[in-house]
Amino acid sequence: MIIIRNWNDIFENAQSRRFERTHWVAMPNKRGFGYTKILKEKNGEAMFGCWCAIVELASTCKPRGELQSNGIPYSYSDVSALTLYSEKTVSETITFCCNSLGWIVDTVSNTEVIPNSHSSKPTPPVSTSIQFSSILSKDIKEEDLLSPKNVFMFWLLHPDLTTHRKLTKDQQAAIRQWRDDYSEQELCNAVRNYADALDDKNNFYTYKHTIEDFFRKGTLSKPSPFKRFVHAETAPPKKGGYIP
């Protein structure tokens, strides 16, 4: 499992520790040795941006700082899909941060790499032993699941949402039906807005949808939950309740 080293000391503060789930992460603004060293790399600017995205991703996990969902560690391809950085950049960033900076701990190999400024050859990345592909239904072709799989993984990042163990054909079809009108990013934005509404105690929207129910097409008497959340930043329903 990929773990951000010293997460609690560096990326948490008195305010964040009060909440089980936060919508921000406290990033240090110190431009020290690590900042200088990573930016001097050939692909340093992309790697530093990817590092920031990895920290943001880790802040959404439970527990925070560990790149996993429901006990399933993220692979490099998972991190790539969730941060939108290429798998090559993700691999380079994690390897460099682990072996040259000590910002990351690799528990798969049971090692915590100490920064070594004299190392010239990057160590090949160690893949996680469990990947998200293992939770897909066996009768679904993975090459047909790029968008549904990414949306499914994004859904799993939010502990307040209904938990699913596998991406089923019904869930796949429910997500795919919006492809002609909405992008993958818009689907994920709707999921995030829905999770934010459930997390907001002042919000009257409390209905727990399954994935297939959330992405269903709506009718006049039964509006689509997805359409309620796809464009709004927080999408709070009006006082008076919601008929699912």
- Examine residue 217 and state whether it is found in any structural domain, yes or no: yes
149 and 93 belong to one structural domain: no
155 and 223 belong to one structural domain: yes
- Examine residue 112 and state whether it is found in any structural domain, yes or no: no
Compute CA distances 26 → 11, 150, 180, whole Å.
Answer: 5, 26, 38
| pLDDT tens digits for range 83-107 | 989 999 999 999 999 888 889 886 6
CA distance 147 to 47: 25
CA distance 187 to 185: 5
- Examine residue 122 and state whether it is found in any structural domain, yes or no: no
Reading the block at residue 225, the tokens are 């939950």
Amino acid sitting at position 152: F
Phi/psi-derived region of residue 241, left when phi > 0, alpha when psi is between -120 and 50, beta in every other case: left
- Examine residue 173 and state whether it is found in any structural domain, yes or no: yes
Region 207-235: mean pLDDT is 83
Residue of higher predicted confidence among 18 and 46: 46
141 and 102 belong to one structural domain: no
Q: Do the beta carbons of residue 64 and residue 4 sit within 8 Å?
A: no
97 and 8 belong to one structural domain: yes
Residue 203: is its pLDDT beyond 80?
no
15 and 77 belong to one structural domain: yes
- Examine residue 89 and state whether it is found in any structural domain, yes or no: yes
* Distant-in-sequence, close-in-space partners of 17: CB < 8 Å, separation ≥ 6: none
What pLDDT score does 53 carry? 93
Q: Do the beta carbons of residue 82 and residue 45 sit within 8 Å?
A: no
Residue 109: is its pLDDT beyond 60?
no
Backbone angles phi, psi at 228, to 5 degrees: -70, -30
8 and 78 belong to one structural domain: yes
Reading the block at residue 223, the tokens are 């509006």
- Examine residue 209 and state whether it is found in any structural domain, yes or no: yes
Among residues 133, 128, 134, which one has the least CA distance to residue 143?
Answer: 133
CA distance 30 to 10: 11
Q: Which domain holds residue 17?
A: 2-106
144 and 225 belong to one structural domain: yes
pLDDT band per the 50, 70, 90 thresholds, residue 141: very low
CA distance 83 to 52: 10
Backbone angles phi, psi at 4, to 5 degrees: -75, 125
| Residue-level length of the chain | 244
97 and 10 belong to one structural domain: yes
Reading the block at residue 84, the tokens are 């939108």
* Distant-in-sequence, close-in-space partners of 82: CB < 8 Å, separation ≥ 6: 57, 74, 150, 153, 154, 157
Residue 204: is its pLDDT beyond 50?
yes
| Cα of 178 vs its chain's centroid, Å | 21
40 and 90 belong to one structural domain: yes
Reading the block at residue 12, the tokens are 């948490």
How many distinct structural domains can be found in the chain?
2
- How many Cβ atoms from other residues are within 10 Å of residue 189's Cβ? 19
- Examine residue 101 and state whether it is found in any structural domain, yes or no: yes
155 and 221 belong to one structural domain: yes
Residue 132: is its pLDDT beyond 50?
no
CA distance 195 to 205: 10
What pLDDT score does 212 carry? 93
- Examine residue 235 and state whether it is found in any structural domain, yes or no: no
